[in-house]
């Protein structure tokens, strides 16, 4: 017989509870340096601040330099005006002087045969910088009576608009009936493009009607900074080419003469050698 005794609660075996993970004490955060503190707060580092200050100073210096350059250009333009006026008077006495446009590589690419014919009536070109040189300039083309248009003067002006952006305006060309070179050029391009892969150049006179991108008008800059101040250079280009061609011809002729002289010397040497060989043979026979 097995007797079960009621044991008091104090003596009964206690049920062990499962072990719970012990919580670790959090470590105190590491102290941040001044640069890390500014970065965590979204503030620029000390080195970045110094670099930005240097860039700001550099930008101010560039602005000052640009202002000084503009002052020099304004002074230069005023000093050159008497020279350009005297030059214009002399140019009017030279026939077809301003056809020199065809001698500039960038301009010649825009000229068709009819354009060149029209430029034979061009008597004067003038470029006028505005008093505030930053605000723009104007180019004037003076023509004699011609079979293409009624205008005596064609002008194109570049300036800053109210918003400060570049813009341009020009004279409306009054074409005579059937003589609109811009339309003739478009028709020719349509015909030629059917036969050829490349397109013929547009008419030079389309420049007066193109105001799409005044800030990047390459032809206007070429005329103002290239042809206008250096017109004599482009007028003399064909003569310079002829002189170079003559020099090349002279060099070729001199080279041919040298070759002929060398040939004569070689023939003389061969004759002498043959004579010596003949004498040796006669001596052997004796």
Q: How far apart are CA 107 and CA 100, in angstroms?
A: 10
**Would the pTM of this model clear 0.85, i.e. be above it?**
no
What would the pLDDT profile of 20-29 be if each residue is shown by its tens digit? 455 556 666 6
Looking at CATH, the fold of the domain delimited by 95-189+199-238 is given as Arylsulfatase, C-terminal domain (3.30.1120)
Mean pLDDT of 33-50: 64
**Structure confidence at residue 28 (pLDDT):** 64
Residue 21's pLDDT is: 52
- Residue ranges of alpha helices (H) inside the chain are 34-40, 46-91, 105-108, 113-119, 181-195, 218-222, 231-235, 237-285
Residue 243: per-residue pLDDT: 52
pLDDT tens readout for residues 144-178: 999 999 999 999 999 887 777 889 999 999 999 99
For the chain, the average pLDDT equals 76
pLDDT at 83: 92
| pLDDT band (50, 70, 90) for residue 31 | low
Asked whether the predicted pLDDT for residue 241 surpasses 70, the reply is no
Residue 127 is predicted with a pLDDT of 93
Query: Using alpha carbons only, how large is the chain's radius of gyration in Å?
Result: 44
Segment 124-137 mean pLDDT: 84
Q: How far is CA 121 from the centre of its chain?
A: 30
Is the confidence at residue 252, as pLDDT, over 70? no
d(CA 198, CA 120): 28
% pLDDT > 70, the chain = 61
Percent above pLDDT 90 for the chain: 36
């Amino acid at each position: 017989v097995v007797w079960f005794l009621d044991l008091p609660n104090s003596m009964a075996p206690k049920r062990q509870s499962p072990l719970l993970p012990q919580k670790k004490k959090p470590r105190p955060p590491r102290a941040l340096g001044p640069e890390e503190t500014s970065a965590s707060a979204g503030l620029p580092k000390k080195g970045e601040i110094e670099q930005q200050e240097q860039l700001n100073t550099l930008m101010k210096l560039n602005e000052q330099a640009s202002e000084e350059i503009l002052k020099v250009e304004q002074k230069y333009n005023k000093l050159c005006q008497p020279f350009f006026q005297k030059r214009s008077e002399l140019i009017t006495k030279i026939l077809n002087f301003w056809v020199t446009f065809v001698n500039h590589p960038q301009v010649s690419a825009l000229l068709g045969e009819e354009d060149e014919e029209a430029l034979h009536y061009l008597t004067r070109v003038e470029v006028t910088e505005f008093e505030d040189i930053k605000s723009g300039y104007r180019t004037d083309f003076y023509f004699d009576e011609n079979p293409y248009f009624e205008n005596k003067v064609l002008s194109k002006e570049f300036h800053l608009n109210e918003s400060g952006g570049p813009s341009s305006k020009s004279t409306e060309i009054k074409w005579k009936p059937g003589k609109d070179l811009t339309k003739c050029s478009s028709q020719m391009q349509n015909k030629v493009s059917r036969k050829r892969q490349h397109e013929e150049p547009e008419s030079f006179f389309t420049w007066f009607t193109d105001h799409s991108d005044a800030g990047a008008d390459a032809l206007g800059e070429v005329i103002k900074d290239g042809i206008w101040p250096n017109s004599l250079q482009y007028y003399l280009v064909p003569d310079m080419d002829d002189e170079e061609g003559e020099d090349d011809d002279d060099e070729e002729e001199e080279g041919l003469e040298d070759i002929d002289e060398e040939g004569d010397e070689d023939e003389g040497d061969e004759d002498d050698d043959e004579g010596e060989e003949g004498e040796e043979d006669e001596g052997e026979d004796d």
